[in-house]
Structure 1
């Protein structure tokens, strides 16, 4: 009698464990891209928003004309970015208005600016987040 109860308990535990593993796998938990595996460009474009061209003055009275593409982490986040486009453009303009031209020069300057925009935009996002900000054109005069 005791052996039957122990076998039943072990069987139930194994079945619960198998069901949990199956649910974990089916729901996609823990699935990350393999190291070094890149998304296809089509996948990137599905979650990317063109912010258009922005022209504004810098802190040192120079003028910048700059364009951006912003990549989100999901289609829902992309939709939110499209709705918040005016807010994102405002963030970009206010960030630029507090910078001098030399701060945007070189690779490091542009990357630092992209990261600053990404951080500020993520602060207002509710449906996901920004993965990457791309400067697609840039002119300072």
Structure 2
């Protein structure tokens, strides 16, 4: 009886040590491993999945003329290919958004940021594979 009790105690100690080791391994891999945040995308990846629009010249609501171009960053190369096929739709979206703006909307950075967000949202509505991460106004000349 003494030998069986000693074996049972030994098995309990081995199972306890094994569980503690497994728990330590899980905690170490979950909390102490350095992970790269999703928001830290390399510039090479951004360039690889970005498309620059042609220069667009159109009238603003305030009877001024704007000449502009955009760089549109997409989430992957498949969405970039679809975007390139839909370039005429994208140009139409940009012209429609610009036609509703006045020259005064471009005086501060807030107006440009709002335009970029509206263009991003409208392009995301037409894309089927992927999405637009960010829209950058690359050039802006108002006359």
- TM-score with structure 1 length normalisation? 0.74
- How big is each residue's C-alpha offset from its partner over 1:25-84, in whole Å with a ceiling of 9 and x where there is no partner? xxxxxxx8427x621111111110111210000011100000101000111110011001
Corresponding residue pairs, total: 109
Offset of residue 124 of structure 1 = 0.4
Distance 1:64 1:128 in 2: 30
Structure 2: tracts of 5 or more residues without a match: 1-34
Distance 1:116 1:76 in 2: 22
- How big is each residue's C-alpha offset from its partner over 1:6-43, in whole Å with a ceiling of 9 and x where there is no partner? xxxxxxxxxxxxxxxxxxxxxxxxxx8427x6211111
Match of 1:85 in 2: 87
Offset of residue 103 of structure 1 = 1.3
Distance 2:103 2:135 in 1: 19
Contact 1:70 1:134 in 2 (8 A): yes
Match of 2:115 in 1: 113
- TM-score with structure 2 length normalisation? 0.73
Instruction: Give the greater-gyration-radius structure (CA).
Output: 2
Contact 1:57 1:63 in 2 (8 A): yes
- Structure 1 stretches of 4+ with a deviation exceeding 3 A read none
Distance 1:98 1:115 in 2: 15
